[in-house]
Amino acid sequence: MSILLTPAYGRDYKSKKALLEDFDNNKDFIVHFAQRTTLINKSQIVAEEWAQVQFRYGKMRKTFIHEVK
């Protein structure tokens, strides 16, 4: 199962590398569910045992899927 994440607190990223650095440093991201959004970080994603996440960044114009380890 994949979940959609976007940067939280007004952050945006110009590169995938910068985004993944913050993700690995356990910074918050917004997770988008069908009817709501909430904040989440990598440790919570690992605890929930999600195998992959989809990120949107670059003013919401870029996207990629990342395998969570």
pLDDT-derived band at 1 (thresholds 50, 70, 90) equals low
Q: Are 66 and 53 in contact (CB under 8 A)?
A: yes
Q: Are 28 and 40 in contact (CB under 8 A)?
A: yes
Domain ranges of the chain: 2-67
Predicted model pTM: 0.91
* Closest C-alpha to 29, from 60, 8, 44, 53: 8
pLDDT value, residue 22:
98
d(CA 69, CA 57): 21
pLDDT value, residue 17:
98
User: Per-residue pLDDT tens for 11-63?
Assistant: 999 999 999 999 999 999 999 988 899 999 999 999 999 999 999 999 999 99
